[in-house]
């Protein structure tokens, strides 16, 4: 069952931390209120948290690459950029 990380909207937003355990991959995907296709201008980055608490961008979700699987341990978050209306879920 999917869990909402960032609600559908048009403003900048960050998800809460996503802790991924070794051997337990996590999928992240963009969503739209109107259905399974999101606007091609949607953009959100995947960031990994360092030991000092800083976040570093390691990947991107967008209108053409709407899902990603994180298959390694660590703490992550999604940073959504303002623009078309969309949200992010964890599946």
Which pLDDT score is estimated for 6?
Answer: 98
| Mean pLDDT value across residues 37-54 | 96
Fold of 3-90: Jelly Rolls (2.60.120)
Give dist(CA 10, CA 37) in Å, integer: 16
Banded model confidence at residue 1, pLDDT cuts 50, 70, 90: confident
pTM: 0.92
Q: What are the sequence ranges of the domains in the chain?
A: 3-90
Angle at 22 between CA 55 and CA 2, to 5 degrees: 75
């Amino acid at each position: 069952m999917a869990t909402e990380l960032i609600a559908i909207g048009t403003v900048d937003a960050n998800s809460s931390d996503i802790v991924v355990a070794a051997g337990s991959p996590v999928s992240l995907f963009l969503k739209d209120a109107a259905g399974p296709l999101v606007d091609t201008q949607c953009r959100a980055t995947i960031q990994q948290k360092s030991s000092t608490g800083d976040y570093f961008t390691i990947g991107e979700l967008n209108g053409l690459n709407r899902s990603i699987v994180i298959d390694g341990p660590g703490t992550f978050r999604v940073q959504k950029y303002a623009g078309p209306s969309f949200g992010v879920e964890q599946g």
